[in-house]
Amino acid sequence: MLLIPAIDLKDGQCVRLKQGVMDDATVFSDNPVQVAAHWRDQGAR
């Protein structure tokens, strides 16, 4: 099985969307590069 992590971005921040609704976003990081590096370090390609 191939898992592909997704990083949702809004205004340059990483967010979690509630049921895909952009107006209902929770910011969990203001550094998308760091989040992508984390997934890479965990083995994502």
CB 10 within 8 Å of CB 25: yes
pLDDT confidence of residue 2: 82
Nearest-angstrom CA–CA distance, 28 and 25? 9
CB 9 within 8 Å of CB 15: yes
From first to last of its 45 residues, the chain has per-residue pLDDT tens of: 887 888 899 999 999 998 888 889 999 999 999 999 999 999 888
pLDDT confidence of residue 15: 95
Supply the pTM of this predicted model.
0.71
**Domain chopping of the chain, boundaries:** 8-41
